[in-house]
A and B are shown apart, each in its own frame.
Chain A
C-alpha cells in the first residue's frame, strides 16, 4: 500500500512541466493554427526550445512579449499588437492564446481584450481555408496589396487560462482542447441551415468534405501521445471504416517531412471545419484514466448531448482490447485481421520472452495517464511495478493503478505530486531492475545503475522521441521488445563471460 511521501517545501528536478507548454502542443495540433502565449518573451522561448529538443522540428510559439511597463499597467495593448502581427505575418486560420503565470497574476481579462480586438480589427471575412504557405525565394515577394488582402481574413481566436501555479502541462493540454471545443464547435442545426441555402452549396462542398457531413463521425481525443501514436490511431480508425475527428493531431505538424520551403505554419493538424462539427458526432472517445472531471468530452456531452466514452490509454493487451471492443461495437465490424494477428504475435512474443522478465522490478514515472498505461502493461508481462510516480496531482492515480494491477501484481507504492528527489529517496533502499519514463530520469538511472526505457515526453537525449509507438498491440510489441532486450543486454554486459547467445 502506498505511504505518503515526506513533504518537502522545495522542488528538486521536477517531474512535470508548466501549463502553457501543454496548451501550445494542443494548439499545434489544429490545422493552420499558431500557438500564442500572453506573457513575457522568456516563457515562449523556453518552451519552444524544450519542445524542439524532443521533436527536432521547428515550432513557432508567438508571445505578446510583455515588458516591465505592461506588467504594471496590463498587457492589453501588447496582446492586441501581437495578435495583429501574427495575423499579418502567418495568416493563420486560428490563434490559440494561452495565458502565463504573469498575465494571470496581473489579472489581464483576456476574453475581454480579445473581443475588443475583434471589434477593432475584424471586418467580417471568414478565415481563409487551407494553408497558403508563402513560397520562399521567388514567389515570396508578395505585393503589398496582396499582403493586405491576405491579412484581411479574420482568424479564429481561442483563449485558455493556463496559470502554471495550478496544474501541470497535462492540465494545460486538456484545458486547451476543452477551450477549443467550447469556443469553436457549432450546433448541427446551424450548419444544416447554411447547407440548405442553395447559393452556398458550392462553397460548402469545398469547405465540408461530404463524408464528414454524415452524423456517423467519431470524435477521438487520445490525450498527449506521441506523433507515431496519433498516426497509428488514424490507421486503426480507418481500418475499422470509421469516419473520425482525431483531435488534437500534431502527427504531421510536429513530425513533418523535409521541405524545400519553410512553411509559415507547418501542414497537418485537425481541420477546423471538423472540429466545428464535433458536437454532432455519434460518440466521443476520450483516453485517460485520470482525466479531469470537466473535459472536452464532457463539454461536448453537455453542449450537444454527444455520448462520451472514456477509456484508458490503449497501452498493453487489456486496455487495447477494451478499445478494440468498443470500435467493433461502433463500426459494427469485426476487428481487422491486421490487429487480430498483431495481438496474436504479441502474445507469442510475451511467451518467448517471459522468463527474462518474470519478477523484475520497475519504477514508472511521468504523466499520470501514461504511468497508468505502462504500469498496466508491465503487470501483464510479469514485471512488478514497485513505484508509480508523477508530478501531476489528479487525486486519481492510486485508484487507477489499483485497477490495472488487480489480479496481476501487488499494488505498488503510488505517488502524486512528487519530484525526482522524492522518487530517488523512496527508491533508495529498493532493488530495481528497470526505469520506465521520459529522459529526465536519466540522471537517476545513471546514479542507480539501472537501465532506462525511454517513453513519453520529453526525450531529450535520443532522437526520434516523437516516433516512439506506445499504443495498441503494435506499440505493446515494440515496448515489449525494447524492455526485454534492455534487460537481456544488461545481464549480458554485466556478465564476466559475455555469452553471445541467449
Chain B
C-alpha cells in the first residue's frame, strides 16, 4: 500500500512486517522539504554532554542554537547545576564578517572567572564551521591560562544528524578520560554510560549496582562530574545503555585502556534484570550473582501486584513507538508486551540496518517499521492502525493529541522516571492514565467510530440506516 502521506523517495525507509522479505533503507540524509523529526549534530552533542553538571557548556554561534537548548531536559544533578544555564557567544553580524575568535576567547574567560567550572565544553555550530574560527586554538589558549580542560566539540549542525553529534561529544569527553587518579577503585567497579539521569533514574540504577556489591566510578553523563570522567579508566567494565550515544566512548576506552563493555537497557523488567545479570556474569563472582538474583526477585515481587492491575486494563490495546534511537525501541516493544499491549508501529530517527533487522524480529506480523519519519506519515500510521497510545518526544505529542490519541513522553524532556523496576511501574501507570482517560470519549475519532458501530448494529437489526 502506498499512502499519499509517503513521498516516493521515502518508500524504502518504511517496512511492513510480513509482506515482503525484510528491507529498509536508513542512515540517509533527511530529504529536503520532508519536515524530518531529526535534529542536528550540535543537538546530539548537547544531549550527551548536557548532564555534566560542573562543566561550563558554551555554545559558539548565533543565539538560537543556545536558547533552544536552555534547561529543556529533565537531567538532574545531585550538586552543582551549571548545566541548566544557557551560555552563548551570541554572534553578531560583525563577528560573522571578521571572525568570532576574539569574542569566544573573551566569553570563555569571562564565564570561567564567573563560575569556576571544572572544565568547559565549547560547541561549534553551523556558521562557526563556515566562518572558520580556529576553536581548537582558542580552547588551548584558555585552557593554559585558566588551568582547566577547555574542550572543543566539533558539532557543526550540517555535518550530519544526531549520531555524528554523539561522536563529537565522545571525542571531547575522551580527552578527559585517563587524566585522573584511579587509586582505591575497587576491582568490582563499573562506569555507567548512556544514562542521562532523567527524573533521577541514574540514582536508582546506581543503587541497584551498589546493592549487588559493585562500585560505580563515573556516571556518563547523568549527574556527571568532570573529575569522575577523568578517572573513568580505573573501572573494570563499561556498562553502556542502549541509545548508542556513548558507545563510541566505550570503544575508545576499550582501544586505549582495554576496558571491555556490555550493552544494556534499564527499561522494562526483562531488560533491567538482564542488565544486572550481565554485569554480575562479567565479574564471575557467585556472591554478586546471588545478590543480583535476589534483588531482581524482590523488586519484581514488589511491583507485580500493581503492574498486573494495569495489565488487566490495558490488555489488547495498541501502541505506536517513535523514538530517537532504535535501541530504546527494543525495550519499549518488550515493555508493552509485559503489560499486554500490541505494538503496531515502531520507528526511530537514527536507527541502523541491524537495529531495524532486530526490530523486525521482535515485532508481530503487520507491524510498521519506519526510519526518519515525519508528522504526515506518523499521523497516517496512527490512523491506519487505530492506535491507543503513542510513545514519542515533544515533537510527536501534538500529532497524537490532535488526532485524539493517548500519549506517553519518552524523551529527554520527560519528568517521569521510567527506568528500573520502579520505572516499569511508572511507565505502566503513565500509559494507563493516558489511555484510560475519559477525554477520548469526546474526540472526533472515537465519536465517529462509535456512531459507525451503532450503524452496524442497526443494520444488523434490520433497521434502515
Contact = CB atoms under 8 A, between A and B. Distances in A.
Interface residues of B, number: 83
Contacts of B398: 52, 55-59
A39 B62 CA distance: 14
A41 B36 contact: yes
A137 B399 CA distance: 16
A192 interface: no
A65 B29 contact: yes
Contact of A134 (B4, B35, B66, B93): B4
A101 B127 contact: yes
Contact of A259 (B39, B376, B403): B403
A13 B70 contact: yes
A492 interface: no
A171 B455 CA distance: 54
Most interface-central of A12, A56, A68, A134 (chain B CB within 10 A): A12
A135 to B, nearest CB: 10
Interface stretch (B152-160, B190-198, B277-285): B152-160
A11 B95 CA distance: 14
Given A147-B4, A262-B376, A18 B129 contact: no
Contacts of B61: 101
B287 interface: no
Interface in A29-67: 36, 39-50, 52-53, 55-67
Given A9-B110, A43-B64, A68 B89 contact: no
B141 interface: no
B31 A14 contact: no
Given A42-B41, A67-B160, A166-B93, A140 B126 contact: no
Nearest to A45: B39
Given A11-B90, A67-B158, A140-B4, A45 B37 contact: yes
A166 B375 CA distance: 31
A88 interface: yes
B184 interface: no
Interface string A161-201: 00111101000000000000000000000000000000000
Given A65-B29, A105-B130, A141-B2, A89 B376 contact: yes
A81 B33 contact: yes
Nearest to B108: A10
Nearest to A58: B398
Which of A16, A39, A136, A137 counts the most B-chain CB atoms under 10 A from its CB?
A: A136
A68 B88 contact: no
A491 B35 CA distance: 48
Interface string A60-102: 1111111110110000001101111110110000000000111
A136 B379 contact: yes
A145 interface: no
A260 B35 contact: no
A204 interface: no
A39 B39 CA distance: 12
A165 B63 CA distance: 7
Interface in B83-104: 84-93, 95-96, 103
B111 A10 contact: yes
Interface in B160-176: 160-161
Interface string B191-226: 000000000000000000000000000000000000
Contacts of B161: 41
Contacts of B108: 10
Contacts of A67: 29, 158-160
17 contacts: A14-B88, A18-B64, A41-B30, A41-B39, A41-B161, A46-B43, A47-B68, A48-B395, A49-B68, A59-B398, A61-B35, A67-B29, A101-B62, A101-B96, A102-B127, A165-B95, A165-B96
Interface of A: 8-14, 16-18, 20-21, 36, 39-50, 52-53, 55-68, 70-71, 78-79, 81-86, 88-89, 100-102, 105-106, 134, 136-137, 140-142, 147, 163-166, 168, 256, 258-262, 264, 440, 443
Interface of B: 1-5, 7, 9, 29-43, 58, 61-71, 84-93, 95-96, 103, 106-108, 110-111, 126-127, 129-131, 156-161, 375-376, 379-380, 383-384, 394-395, 397-399, 401-404, 442-445, 448
